[in-house]
Amino acid sequence: MSGERGFTGEMHRYLDGEPISLDGDVRSEAEHIVNGVRDYAVSLQVPGPEVDAAVMAVVRERRASGRRRAFWRWFVEPQAVRLRPALAAALVAAVVGLTLVVARDDAGQPPEVAGTELVEPRTVLVRFEFRAPHAEQVAVAGSFSEWDESGIPLTLNPATGLWTVTLPLTPGAHQYLFVIDGNQWVPDPAAHAQVDDGFGQVNSVIVVGPRGVVRS
Amino acid sequence: MGCGADCVTAGPSARPLPLASSYGLPGERMSVPDGVLVERVLAGDVEQYGVLVERYRAEFARYAASLCGDRDTAADAMQEAFIRAFDSLSTCRDPGRFKAWFFRILTNQCHNARDRQRPRVSLERVAGLAAETRDPVEGAEIRRAIEEALDALTPEQREAFVLKHVEGRSYAEMAELLDKSEDALKMRVHRARETLRRLLEPVR
């Protein structure tokens, strides 16, 4: 043990990569701590391609919702329209004629308005976790994937036995189950709520808030 | 993101779609410069973003894991960083320097993720833990001592140390990524080494 002794300037320059020649003992002393920490860091598992898939799922959803917003913005905002007078007159005549026909068919009936709910299609990244170190494969299926039987695959961290996947979900309540090895449907033991599925089993429930990552 | 009247209902879209790498020759895709890819994404071809994601997830995965301390936290931080970068891509003033721009976003996300994940430890506790783990067979304890010694570094010291000694980058590369002078970065690395040595010396 070296007490309060620190690295010498030469040791630092050597570790910085400068062409400094150190005696064997001094060199190993300089390298010992640095190499130990580096070996530890290099031994850590690193994120893999599952990150790419999760990111691109969100990016594609953002693009789709952006297009819908852009269309709606175009639709409701004032637009400059260039029209030939002759075509304008023809359009007016057509609209008047159509109005008269509709008025004759639906006299006294108020027009119906479609009840489309206009909601922000924002999504929140939700991380699903399931510990099953001996499973061959784990997937999650739920109301957000229309209960597709094959489910959305989770990725195993062999060191922890934890299967995970991060999905973009819209705010609100979602029901889901994990699918183990393709045939065993189980609720999430860590879910904050379970509900009767109407067939004698239970589904797990996750409620996604409007901001931040919600864990199952 | 606010929700105005100009929104429509989103359909369920939870299933991950194929990666952009499914299209085109990987070699061709991966050689396209960052600036070109960023311009294509901004022009509406979001699949090109997959090339940037693949490129920098691979390059910075070790860095993120070293800052966060474990793979799962690092994966979350990387996802958040890529999505934040995508959302604010139009503010990347020099698309040719996407790498450095993204690196700063990633670094912030890693520090935030680590802060949420793990409480800061006192230096006394780290030194005490190291002193208890002289037996080399106690590998797990030594790993924990190293982990907590790394946690005792400032975020700036930790990122500089990781870039230098885990990633093996030169000070010139680090200066490019962190937008700091080489001298300032050397000082951070030196201080990180001194702190690690002081805390881990009893393990020897």
pLDDT, tens digit, 9 for 90 and up, residues A18-42: 988 888 888 888 888 899 899 989 9
3-state helix, strand, coil in chain A (%, to 5): 35, 25, 40
Residues of A in contact with B76 (CB under 8 A): 127, 166, 213
| pLDDT tens, position by position, B43-63 | 989 999 999 999 999 999 999
pLDDT of B84 reads: 93
Average pLDDT, chain A: 78
pLDDT of B52 reads: 96
Contact with chain A for residue B27, Cβ under 8 A: no
Highest mean pLDDT: which range of A16-20, A168-172, B21-25, B136-140: A16-20
pLDDT of B174 reads: 96
pLDDT exceeds 70 at position B80: yes
pLDDT exceeds 50 at position B82: yes
Query: CA of A142: which chain B residue's CA is closest?
Result: B14
- The alpha carbon of residue A105 is apart from the nearest alpha carbon of chain B, in Å, by 32
pLDDT exceeds 80 at position B24: no
pLDDT exceeds 60 at position A120: no
pLDDT exceeds 80 at position B140: no
pLDDT exceeds 50 at position B120: no
pLDDT exceeds 50 at position B4: no
CA distance B124 to B72: 28
Neighbours of A44 (CB within 10 A): 20
pLDDT of A183 reads: 83
User: Are A190 and A129 a contacting pair, CB within 8 Å?
Assistant: yes
CA distance A33 to B193: 8
Residues of A in contact with B128 (CB under 8 A): none
From B3, B46, B86, residue closest to A119, measured CB to CB: B3
pLDDT of A199 reads: 74
Query: CB B15 to CB A61 under 8 A?
Result: no
pLDDT of A119 reads: 39
Contact with chain B for residue A59, Cβ under 8 A: yes
pLDDT of A99 reads: 65
pLDDT exceeds 50 at position B123: no
CA end-to-end span of chain B: 52
3-state helix, strand, coil in chain B (%, to 5): 75, 0, 25
Q: Of chain A residues 126-185, which have a CB less than 8 A from chain B?
A: 127, 142-146, 148, 152, 157, 159-160, 162, 164, 166-170
| CA Rg value for chain A | 31
Mean pLDDT lowest for which of A208-212, B43-47, B60-64, B182-186?
A208-212
pLDDT higher for B131 or A39?
A: A39
Mean pLDDT lowest for which of A1-10, A57-66, A113-122, B150-159?
A113-122
User: Are A210 and A172 a contacting pair, CB within 8 Å?
Assistant: no
Across A110-134, average pLDDT: 63
pLDDT of A182 reads: 85
**A111: DSSP letter:** P
User: Are A83 and B89 a contacting pair, CB within 8 Å?
Assistant: no
pLDDT-based confidence at residue B15 (cuts at 50, 70, 90): very low
Across B154-179, average pLDDT: 94
pLDDT-based confidence at residue A47 (cuts at 50, 70, 90): very high
pLDDT of A12 reads: 93
User: Are B78 and B61 a contacting pair, CB within 8 Å?
Assistant: yes
pLDDT of A181 reads: 87
Contact with chain B for residue A25, Cβ under 8 A: no
Across B144-152, average pLDDT: 89
Across B96-115, average pLDDT: 92
pLDDT higher for B134 or A7?
A: A7
CA end-to-end span of chain A: 47
| Residue count (chain B) | 204
pLDDT of B18 reads: 35
pLDDT exceeds 60 at position B75: yes
| pLDDT tens, position by position, A152-195 | 999 888 888 889 888 888 888 888 999 888 888 888 888 878 88
Highest mean pLDDT: which range of B42-46, B81-85, B118-122: B81-85
